[in-house]
């Protein structure tokens, strides 16, 4: 494809385009380089390097002082580089997303569980699917690591390209609010979009709940009239989301929805309840824990129903042991129940701890911290929730990034009104101490990192995993 076809303008060097790139280190001959301004780096600082490696066209949001020195290079100035990139990629990859049943799942909590349930159900049915989300990319059984919940638009298109080669026709994607706002999913054609819930998160990025809410709404709005839009009927501002949706709307919740539930029973080993669907009433027994997972299961069933894959196999699938990495994973170590979960928002932490408090036989211990350089306002709220619900809390490190861990914990402690806690900065030591204090039958909730394989300390990712730490315990 010639570059003039991508940008629909006459250019001095109408070269054949090899690929589109945002990282100058990846440039090869005849690539187009998009000089994006990020939080830490400015793409214009890497234009010389990109040209040296073979880029023939540069796209930027402002003039570049050295452009006159490179006569054979196209310099294209646009208002929004990321939007232009998404629109150019759609042309370059020949609207590839339209060739899939693309399912987008957004919401503050539950994205990973719902998307993983759909993917695992496809595996049970021996149907081909791709999963893109917090725990990485799975194309069939091939795994690829990703930095973000929703990768960059170019990475998404490359995953779609590999998926097509593998014969995949269904792609399930977690869609974060960052991805919507930063146009990582701009131009993708979703057949099903789903929103799980909306509670406080990412206010360091969005600044206000209004911006966060309307970013989620914008994603629902992006799906056209031929799509299905699935909404939790109990979500705050449900009427707004319902009104903005352009596709056919389906709902789920406890009452007054297309998919509902009743008579839930909870233990530390599993959950039982009945569901009402357009297909009838069914009993569900699952090892997935907590009331919030009933909602995740309803969302999963709604998607499967839309895909015309509803059958009794769903309930056989749910009754088998399902493991969602880093989501309410239970490890029994010498009679102590360790529950590892990604909960890092006030609502997520409260949901997990209220459930564990109800099913505990003895004491509930919590090991938790908060991420650095993220919404500071939620720290004191999390401190209040954990100290109020738990019998004992150990406040510790999460991903401090460039913030001093002591300052993060000081923010958390502003919300603590009791003395049922200690502070241990080192996360592994904190887990060891919790295990030392706990007795048989006690529950130890290790929250905030889930399946993450690292800790971010300053600008380095240090190998670390909560589950591995628990497995190494000697009790």
pLDDT in tens, 79-124: 999 999 999 999 999 999 999 999 999 998 999 999 999 999 999 9
Q: Which position has the token pair 């000697």?
A: 474
Residue range 246-264, pLDDT digits in tens: 999 999 999 999 999 999 9
Q: Is residue 219 left, alpha or beta, with left meaning phi > 0 and alpha meaning psi from -120 to 50?
A: alpha
Instruction: Give the dihedral of Cα atoms 430, 345, 117, 455; nearest 10 deg.
Output: -40
Residue range 372-384, pLDDT digits in tens: 999 999 999 999 9
Kind of pairing, strands 364-368 and 443-447?
parallel
CATH number for 96-319: choose from 3.40.718.10, 3.40.50.1110, 3.40.1190.10, 1.10.1370.40: 3.40.1190.10
CATH number for 329-471: choose from 3.40.50.1820, 1.10.3720.10, 3.90.190.20, 2.40.30.20: 3.90.190.20
> Stretch 203-228: mean pLDDT, rounded?
87
Residue range 324-371, pLDDT digits in tens: 999 999 999 999 999 999 999 999 999 999 999 999 999 999 999 999
Query: 3-79 and 96-319 share one CATH topology?
Result: no
Please tell me the number of Cα atoms within 13 Å of 9 on its side-chain side.
10
d(CA 95, CA 99): 8
Kind of pairing, strands 280-286 and 271-277?
antiparallel
E strand or H helix at 250: strand 248-252
d(CA 185, CA 156): 8
Residue extents of the structural domains in the chain = 3-79, 96-319, 329-471
Average pLDDT, the chain: 94
Q: How far is CA 423 from CA 348, 383, 390, in A?
A: 22, 12, 15
Q: Taking Cα atoms as reference points, which of 146, 119, 127, 120 lies closest to residue 135?
A: 146
CATH number for 3-79: choose from 1.20.120.1200, 3.30.465.10, 3.40.1390.10, 3.40.309.10: 3.40.1390.10
């Amino acid at each position: 494809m010639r570059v003039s076809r991508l940008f629909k303008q006459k250019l001095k060097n109408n070269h054949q385009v090899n690929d589109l790139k945002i990282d100058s280190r990846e440039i090869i001959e005849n690539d187009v380089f998009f000089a994006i301004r990020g939080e830490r780096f400015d793409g214009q600082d890497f234009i010389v390097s990109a040209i040296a490696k073979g880029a023939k066209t540069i796209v930027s949001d402002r003039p570049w002082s050295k452009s006159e020195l490179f006569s054979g290079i196209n310099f294209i100035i646009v208002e929004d580089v990321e939007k232009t990139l998404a629109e150019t990629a759609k042309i370059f990859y020949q609207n590839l997303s339209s060739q899939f049943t693309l399912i987008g799942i957004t919401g503050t909590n539950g994205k990973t569980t719902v998307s993983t349930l759909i993917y695992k159900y496809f595996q049970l049915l021996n149907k081909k699917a791709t999963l893109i989300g917090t725990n990485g990319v799975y194309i069939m059984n091939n795994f690829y690591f990703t930095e973000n919940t929703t990768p960059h638009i170019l990475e998404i298109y490359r995953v779609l390209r590999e998926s097509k080669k593998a014969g995949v026709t269904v792609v399930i994607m977690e869609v974060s609010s960052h991805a919507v706002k930063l146009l990582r999913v701009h131009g993708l054609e979703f057949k099903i979009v789903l929103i799980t819930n909306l509670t406080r998160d990412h206010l360091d990025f969005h600044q206000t709940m209004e911006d966060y809410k309307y970013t989620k709404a914008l994603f629902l709005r992006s799906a056209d009239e031929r799509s299905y839009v699935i909404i939790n009927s109990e979500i705050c501002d449900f009427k707004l989301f319902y009104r903005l949706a352009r596709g056919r709307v389906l709902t789920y919740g406890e009452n007054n929805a297309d998919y509902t539930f009743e008579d839930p029973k909870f233990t530390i080993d599993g959950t039982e309840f009945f569901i009402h669907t357009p297909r009838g009433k069914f009993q569900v027994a699952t090892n997935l824990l907590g009331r919030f997972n009933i909602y995740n299961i309803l969302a999963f069933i709604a998607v499967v129903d839309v895909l015309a894959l509803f059958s009794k196999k769903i309930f056989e699938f749910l009754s088998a042991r399902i493991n969602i990495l880093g989501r309410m994973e239970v490890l029994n170590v010498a009679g102590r129940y360790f529950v590892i979960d990604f909960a890092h928002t006030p609502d997520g932490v409260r949901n997990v701890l209220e459930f564990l408090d109800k099913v505990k036989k003895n004491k509930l211990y919590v090991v938790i911290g908060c991420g650095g350089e993220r919404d500071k306002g939620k720290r004191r709220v999390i401190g209040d929730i954990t100290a109020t619900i738990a019998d004992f809390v150990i406040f510790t490190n999460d991903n401090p990034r460039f913030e001093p861990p002591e300052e993060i914990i000081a923010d958390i402690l502003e919300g603590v009104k009791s003395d049922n806690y200690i502070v241990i900065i080192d996360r592994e030591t904190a887990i060891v101490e919790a295990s030392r204090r706990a007795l048989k039958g006690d529950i130890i909730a290790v929250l905030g990192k889930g399946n993450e394989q690292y800790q971010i300390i300053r600008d380095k990712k240090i190998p670390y995993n909560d589950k591995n730490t628990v497995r190494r315990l000697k009790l």
